Amino acid sequence: MKSRIGVAKTLAIVIAISLVLGAAVWQIRATILNNALVEELQRTEASVGATPSDESWKSSFGQAVVADHINHDYREALILHMEALTHAASPQRIAASYNSMGLSFEKLGMLEVAEQCHRKATKADPGSDFFQKCLADVLLVRKKYVEAEPIYRSLLGRTSAPDDRSALLWPLAETLDATGRKADADKARAESYKAMDEAAASRHLNK
């Protein structure tokens, strides 16, 4: 009986060590792959719009969307978005590529690179509220509250749609909480709930 217990303990230790080593190997592999993506992005940025073709851009971008949203292969999606970037024939196409890359980098946990991509998207197409919100959201996650707050406030000033207002008020409340303004944060959350109710009522009336 004692020998069986000893064997079981040994097996448990071996399994635990294997799991730890497996996790470490996976982490090293992920780091190498992530670094390779950053290097590839740096190379690609030297060739933005080098071979302009809207059809080629749409093809690469479309394949990237499938890789990201359907296959959940974010690295493959990023490679395809980088390919699309070389075919981007307008600032709007450049912005769309950078924004999508930013979202994919976020899913890989590469928030610093994601932020850089979102900044480039808003620079290429400053009139896009969606790109602005994506930038604010990653700034919020990176605890850059002072930068995120004015973006949320600016976007709120440009929309009256309840759904949009709710989606902006909630993260704004997070920035207010994080910067010690609890009363303002509570007010923003209350307004967010109110906007949710208005949106739900509107949808019910439109059925």
| Span 171-199, pLDDT tens digits | 999 999 999 999 999 999 999 999 888 88
In a domain, 184, yes or no: yes
Does a structural domain hold residue 49?
A: yes
Within a domain: 167: yes
Question: What's residue 21's pLDDT?
Answer: 41
Quick check: 20 pLDDT over 90?
Answer: no
Give the integer Cα–Cα distance in Å for 197 and 204: 11
Q: Quick check: 138 pLDDT over 50?
A: yes
Closest CA to 188 of 164, 170, 206: 170
pTM for the predicted model, two decimal places: 0.82
pLDDT band at 202 (very low <50, low <70, confident <90, very high): confident
The reply to whether 161 and 68 lie within a common domain is no
Residues 117 and 162 in one domain: no
Q: 195 is in which domain, residue-wise?
A: 143-207
Identify whether residues 4 and 34 lie together within a single domain: yes
Same domain, 75 and 37: yes
- The answer to whether 80 and 42 have CB atoms below 8 angstroms apart is no
Q: Are residues 73 and 23 in the same domain?
A: yes
Q: Are residues 93 and 152 in the same domain?
A: no
pLDDT (0 to 100) of residue 3: 53
Q: Say whether both 18 and 104 belong to one domain.
A: yes
Structural domain tally of the chain? 2
